[in-house]
Structure 1
Amino acid sequence: MAFSKVVIVSLLVSLLLLNLVEAADETVSGNVAQGSTYGKIDCGGSCAARCRLSSRPRLCKRACGTCCERCNCVPPGTAGNQEVCPCYAKMTTHGGKRKCP
Structure 2
Amino acid sequence: MEGDIANLGAFIGAGLAGLGSGLSALGVGNVAGNFLNGALRNPSAAAGQTATLFIGIAFAEALGIFSFLVAILLMFAV
Q: Which structure has the larger Rg over C-alpha atoms? A: 1
Higher RCO by CA contacts (8 Å cutoff, separation 6 or greater): 2
**Shorter-chain TM-score: which interval?**
0.3 to 0.5
Taking structure 1 as the reference length, what is the TM-score of the superposition? 0.36
Q: Comparing both structures, which one devotes a greater share of its residues to helix?
A: 2
Taking structure 2 as the reference length, what is the TM-score of the superposition? 0.45
